């Protein structure tokens, strides 16, 4: 491990990789700050451009975008009461009141410090937990992988929004889409209807670009510009020493909440942020001050939503199951680089894994520096006019879809998925479950079929093997918990 | 309150059942496997069956409780601007796709970006649309040619 850490540090501090991380941090913060753009969108758009890079710089760029994007949403949450990302929704509660009191800069500075703390704590936990979990997962057979895949699908409950039923429809539709192409065990085409283009299956990147980016273009075109009061006077951004101590105190606890939530499939930054906010308020000596514009009300959700980043990377790297929508897209990035996430990644490609660990830590430090330097310019960029945003996102979506394989047919796929995603979301059918199912579907099908082959068609193998049985029980418990939670939130 | 049987949830449920039927029937032609449950048709049929059930549940809920269906995004509310603009954007994107082959990537990208900007502007301004589209085109060219060393289609007209 010491050799690997030295190798990892050498990789991330190489000037080209360091600069790439700076670029990624800027892109992530900008995308996070602009309402309508997200870190998921940024990663989806940039994956095709990373294909010409080596795996390490490609992944460092995307990780830096991820970390920056989770913080970036707080900027507009504070200045114009419009969270740049859903994960920053809780930051509005105290961030905007602080801005109205003339403390916008202090609020943003608090958000930045708390985000950095959250990211660093979760990165450290990721570094310590991932290798032993990967070693444990090396013993998995197809039976355990099938159970892991099914457990990963519980993420659908968390990302389904208002209707679990519609989320389930989306997920199963995604599972069906994942069966299109060549059968993984017998060399026969399935549901290609004679099309050569479909024999390789549904192209993942155009699907992601279509669902997240092109559909967003349609939504941006449809939505009239919001009339928002913008707080322009940022003021001083540096908290004083007493304030820093308060931020660290609340940030540490919130970081742990965020990391834990990030490990759970599908439970992303938004859930973490509100949970941390609720806990900070509950445990505060002055809970009545929350919502009036206090530092703790900004620090808690921001530490938690950046705490999700490291937590979500743990199941993604060690088991190949995405922890949230961003890691679902990051999984695609790893696959595009020819890397299969899971325990074998640690065994066969430590030269990629350990730089990812070091990169997660460095990305948060870079984000801190870049964040302080660019607070004022980014506040201006965040109020970019909608018409320019539409054309920028549209053009880069089309180019991204083209760049993946140099085929203009992929562009058509992306547009088609964009239309599908726009229509589905308009009628309440979430698209994130489709993306999750496109990733997990092949894994689940392969594992289930191999398990049945090994057991000569006996289903009992899934409940007689202890790890598989435990995972399936955990699936049922998690699904029931999330369904109940959603019913309570709707009541 | 009069029930509207053809609300979005009912249509969604019907579509789900239709898609499920399509996959179920199509998987009938797939070969069998020595372990029956591990064949190529097994997983698609399980998913198709599940989708049909979920579709039926969605239809059932929407027909029984129309007040819940009305929580769905209001397709019946006509936002005149959106009803016209979004299909136009789709059409423009399809036209863009075909013009790449004819005019080449750079020129078609410029025209696409400029047209999209003009359509999205509340008060169309050709100068600002052209300027911003030029900038986008330059950035695209720099990224592709210098950073990625990738070639872009020149188009039939410019070959």
Q: Does A388 touch chain B (CB under 8 A)?
A: yes
Q: Please state the separation of Cα A54 from the chain's center in Å.
A: 22
Cβ contact B140–A172 (<8 Å): no
d(CA B152, CA B146): 12
End-to-end alpha carbon distance in chain A: 51
List, as one string, the DSSP characters of A171-207. Answer: HHHHHHHHT-EE-SSS--EES-TT-SGGGG-S-HHHH
Average pLDDT rounded to a whole number, residues B132-156: 73
Answer whether residue A29 shows pLDDT above 50: yes
* A406 interaction partners in chain B (CB closer than 8 Å): 150
Q: Chain A residue with minimal CA distance to B52?
A: A169
- Indicate yes or no: pTM above 0.90: no
Of A96-100, A316-320, A424-428, B37-41, where does mean pLDDT reach its minimum?
A: B37-41
Answer whether residue B159 shows pLDDT above 90: no
Average pLDDT rounded to a whole number, residues B80-109: 76
* A388 interaction partners in chain B (CB closer than 8 Å): 117, 132
φ, ψ at B5 (rounded to 5°): -65, -30
Q: Chain B residue with minimal CA distance to A416?
A: B90
φ, ψ at A181 (rounded to 5°): 120, -160
Average pLDDT rounded to a whole number, residues A167-171: 92
Write the CA distances from B76 to A408, A427, B4, B8, B83, integer angstroms: 35, 11, 11, 9, 11
Average pLDDT rounded to a whole number, residues B107-111: 88
Helix (H, G, I), strand (E, B) or coil at A414: helix
* A218 interaction partners in chain B (CB closer than 8 Å): 86, 89-90
CA distance A278 to chain B (A): 28
Q: Residue B79: its pLDDT value, please?
A: 42
User: What are the b/e assignments for A103-122, b being 16+ CB within 10 Å?
Assistant: bbbbbbbbbbbbbbbbbbbb
What is the tens place of the pLDDT at every residue in A342-351?
Answer: 888 888 888 8
CA distance A5 to chain B (A): 30
What is the tens place of the pLDDT at every residue in A36-66?
Answer: 778 888 888 888 878 778 889 999 999 999 9
What is the tens place of the pLDDT at every residue in A109-120?
Answer: 999 999 999 999
Cβ contact A176–B116 (<8 Å): no
Q: Does A220 touch chain B (CB under 8 A)?
A: yes
Average pLDDT rounded to a whole number, residues A91-102: 88
φ, ψ at A182 (rounded to 5°): -75, 135
β-pair type (A181-182, A189-190): antiparallel
Between B150 and A223, the more confident residue is A223
Q: Residue B76: its pLDDT value, please?
A: 38
Q: Residue A87: its pLDDT value, please?
A: 82
φ, ψ at A265 (rounded to 5°): -60, 130
Q: Does A449 touch chain B (CB under 8 A)?
A: yes
Q: Does A214 touch chain B (CB under 8 A)?
A: yes
Residue A239 burial (C-beta neighbours within 10 Å; 0-12, 13-18, 19+): buried
């Amino acid at each position: 491990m010491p050799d690997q850490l030295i190798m990892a540090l050498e990789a991330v501090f190489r000037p080209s990789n360091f600069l790439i991380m700076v670029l990624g941090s800027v892109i992530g913060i900008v995308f996070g700050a602009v309402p309508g753009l997200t870190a998921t969108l940024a990663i989806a758009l940039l994956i095709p451009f990373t294909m010409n890079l080596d795996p390490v710089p490609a992944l460092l760029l995307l990780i830096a975008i991820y970390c920056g994007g989770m913080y970036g949403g707080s900027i507009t949450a504070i200045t114009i009461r419009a969270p740049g990302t859903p994960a920053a929704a809780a930051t509005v509660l105290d961030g905007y009141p602080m801005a109205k009191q003339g403390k916008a800069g202090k609020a943003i500075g608090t958000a930045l410090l708390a985000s950095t703390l959250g990211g660093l704590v979760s990165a450290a936990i990721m570094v310590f937990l991932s290798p032993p979990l990967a070693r444990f997962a090396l013993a998995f057979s197809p039976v355990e992988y099938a159970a892991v895949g099914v457990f990963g699908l519980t993420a659908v409950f968390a990302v389904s929004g208002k209707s679990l039923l519609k989320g389930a429809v989306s997920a199963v539709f995604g599972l069906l889409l994942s069966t299109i192409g060549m059968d993984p065990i017998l060399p026969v085409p399935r549901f290609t209807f004679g099309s050569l283009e479909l024999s390789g299956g549904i192209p993942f990147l155009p699907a992601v670009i279509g669902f997240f980016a092109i559909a967003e273009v349609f939504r941006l075109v449809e939505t009239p510009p919001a009339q928002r009061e913008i707080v322009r006077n940022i003021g001083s951004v540096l908290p004083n020493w007493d304030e820093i101590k308060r931020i660290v105190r609340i940030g540490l606890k919130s970081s742990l909440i965020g990391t834990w939530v990030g490990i759970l499939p599908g439970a992303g930054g938004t859930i973490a942020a509100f949970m941390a906010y609720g806990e900070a308020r509950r445990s505060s000596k002055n809970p009545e001050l929350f919502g009036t514009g206090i530092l703790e009300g900004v620090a808690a959700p921001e530490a938690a939503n950046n705490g999700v980043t490291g937590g979500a990377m743990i199941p993604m790297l060690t088991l190949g199951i995405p922890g949230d929508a961003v890691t679902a897209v990051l999984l695609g990035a790893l696959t595009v680089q020819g890397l299969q996430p899971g325990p074998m990644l640690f065994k066969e490609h430590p030269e990629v894994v350990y730089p990812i660990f070091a990169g997660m830590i460095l990305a948060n430090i870079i984000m801190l520096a870049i964040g302080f330097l660019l607070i004022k310019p980014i506040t201006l960029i965040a109020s970019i006019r909608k018409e320019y945003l539409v054309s920028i996102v549209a053009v880069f979506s089309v180019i991204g879809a083209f760049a993946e394989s140099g085929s203009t047919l992929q562009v058509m796929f992306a547009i088609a998925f964009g239309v599908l995603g726009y229509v589905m979301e308009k009628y309440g059918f979430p698209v994130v479950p489709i993306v999750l199912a496109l990733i997990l579907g092949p894994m689940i099908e392969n594992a289930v079929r191999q398990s049945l082959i090994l057991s000569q068609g006996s289903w009992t193998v899934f409940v007689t093997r202890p790890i598989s049985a435990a995972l399936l029980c955990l699936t049922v418990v998690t699904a029931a918990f999330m369904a109940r939670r959603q019913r309570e939130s709707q009541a | 309150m009069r029930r509207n049987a053809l609300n979005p949830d009912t249509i969604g449920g019907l579509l789900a059942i239709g898609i499920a039927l399509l996959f179920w029937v199509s998987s009938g032609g797939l070969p069998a496997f020595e372990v029956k449950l591990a064949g190529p048709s097994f997983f698609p049929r399980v998913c198709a069956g599940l989708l049909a059930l979920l579709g039926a549940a969605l239809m059932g809920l929407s027909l029984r409780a129309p007040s819940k269906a009305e929580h769905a995004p209001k397709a019946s509310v006509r936002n005149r601007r959106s009803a016209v603009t979004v299909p136009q954007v789709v059409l423009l994107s399809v036209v863009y796709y075909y013009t790449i082959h004819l005019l080449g990537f750079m020129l078609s990208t410029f025209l696409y970006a400029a047209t999209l900007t003009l359509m999205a502007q509340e008060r169309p301004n050709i100068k600002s649309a052209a300027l911003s589209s030029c900038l986008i085109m330059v950035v695209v060219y720099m990224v592709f040619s210098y950073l990625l060393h990738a070639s872009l289609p020149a188009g039939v007209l410019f070959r």
